[in-house]
Amino acid sequence: MAEKKLLLSVRDVKVHFKVKGNNDWPWTPKRTLKAVDGVSFDLYEGETLGVVGESGCGKSTLSRAILNLIPATDGEILWMGKDLRKGSDKDWLHVRKDIQMIFQDPLASLNPRMTIAQIIGEPLRVHRPELSPDEIMKRVRAMMVKVGLREQMINRYPHEFSGGQCQRIGIARALILEPKLIICDEPVSALDVSIQAQIINLLKELQREMGLSLIFIAHDLAVVKHISDRILVMYLGREMELAEKYALYDKPAHPYTQALLSAIPIPDPKLERNKTIQILQGDLPSPINPPSGCVFRTRCPKAVERCAKEEIKLHAVTAATQTSCLLA
């Protein structure tokens, strides 16, 4: 089997913000909020990387830093070997044809004053100015059919569609340029369960057909398992575990991953009643003042004294699993 091509390489990326508290004096120095604090991973052609973690862990900030919607503070973001953080505006204009994004709120991400034809066709007008209006309209109609929308809807406005239909419009807009990578920022979290399944199956079908790579961000571990090849678990801006799908679900190495997986509902009522849920104690620490050493140690049931003194980066514990836990 031929080796897959490396598309994206993220190396020790950090996104820090300078902030002030509500009760700070005007002369009080700003403090540093570490939204993303040293994340690394590789993404290959045709692969789906799931990114999971509780709210505030830095998943969405990481995705926006990759696209330069939020500037990264440090680290490298290599797209096909080229460091995007050093790229000019012209370089980014070229790269954005290959990297597109699907946003969390399907309706809020669409311009209410534009028709569906204008919304889906806008990337072509920006990046493919040589195309005639008729050619753009032809491609828009073809893409609408591909994502499950009727051509008769082409002159409607976003408010005339359901949440699932709006997300299909967002997918069509992202795919119209035939990109190599799509970053999906919780694309199904605002949808009903039945609609979630339709959107996930649509993304998998389009991935097979177009050879797409995906970064799929979500809270729902069951959804992530269905679509991902590998999964990155984040907590307080840092990596806890990076593993192949079945390795992570069958034998999670990090206590945080174990706690997340224990909370997944089981369809069998008897098994659901008898399972043990690992409830994390305490509140999520502030990213302005994270714990020393392992950031998860204040809530970890297995923490030892050494965890407070050493900050451990991802390291391999099996051929399919990397973790940042000392005890793995």
pLDDT digits (tens, 9 = 90+) for 210-232: 899 999 998 888 889 889 999 99
pLDDT digits (tens, 9 = 90+) for 63-92: 999 998 999 999 999 999 888 888 777 888
Q: Is 297 exposed, middle or buried (0-12, 13-18, 19+ CB in 10 A)?
A: buried
Instruction: Please tell me the predicted confidence (pLDDT) of residue 154.
Output: 94
Residue 162, phi-psi category: left (phi > 0), alpha (psi -120 to 50), beta (remainder): beta
Report the alpha-carbon angle 277-282-288, nearest 5. Answer: 130
The mean per-residue pLDDT over the stretch 160-179 comes to: 92
Tokens 């540093």 — which residue? Answer: 32
Instruction: Please tell me the predicted confidence (pLDDT) of residue 20.
Output: 82
* Domain range summary for the chain, segments of one domain joined by +: 1-18+32-98+181-195+209-328, 112-178
Q: Which of 21-30, 181-190, 231-240 has the lowest mean pLDDT?
A: 21-30
Q: At what angle do helices 163-175 and 193-210 cross, to 10 degrees?
A: 20
Instruction: Please tell me the predicted confidence (pLDDT) of residue 1.
Output: 40
Q: Does the pLDDT of residue 177 top 70, yes or no? A: yes
Instruction: Please tell me the predicted confidence (pLDDT) of residue 2.
Output: 54
Does residue 201 sit in helix, strand or coil?
helix
Does residue 144 sit in helix, strand or coil?
helix
Q: What is the mean pLDDT of the chain?
A: 89
Length of the chain: 328
Which CATH number among 2.30.110.10, 3.10.20.30, 3.40.50.300, 2.60.40.1930 corresponds to the domain 1-18+32-98+181-195+209-328? Answer: 3.40.50.300
Q: Does the pLDDT of residue 102 top 60, yes or no? A: yes
Which residues, at least 6 apart from 34, have a Cβ–Cβ distance to it below 8 Å?
A: 14, 16, 236, 237, 287, 288, 290
Tokens 């120095």 — which residue? Answer: 29
pLDDT digits (tens, 9 = 90+) for 234-291: 999 999 999 999 999 999 999 999 999 888 777 777 777 777 778 788 888 989 989 9
Which pTM value belongs to this model?
Answer: 0.90
Confidence at 16, pLDDT banded by 50, 70, 90: very high
The residues with which 13 forms a beta bridge, in sequence order, are 39
The mean per-residue pLDDT over the stretch 11-31 comes to: 85
Distance (Å, whole) CA 220 – CA 189: 8
pLDDT digits (tens, 9 = 90+) for 128-163: 999 999 999 999 999 999 998 999 999 999 999 988
The residues with which 221 forms a beta bridge, in sequence order, are none
Best CA proximity match to 324, nearest among 216, 218, 223, 252: 252
The mean per-residue pLDDT over the stretch 187-214 comes to: 86
Sheet holding 321-323, edge to edge: 99-102, 181-185, 213-217, 48-52, 230-235, 238-244, 321-323, 315-316
Distance (Å, whole) CA 195 – CA 190: 10
Sheet holding 82-83, edge to edge: 31-44, 6-19, 74-79, 82-83
Instruction: Please tell me the predicted confidence (pLDDT) of residue 190.
Output: 73
pLDDT digits (tens, 9 = 90+) for 293-305: 999 999 998 889 9
Pairing label, strands 213-217, 74-79: unpaired
Instruction: Please tell me the predicted confidence (pLDDT) of residue 131.
Output: 94
In percent, how much of the chain has pLDDT > 70? 99
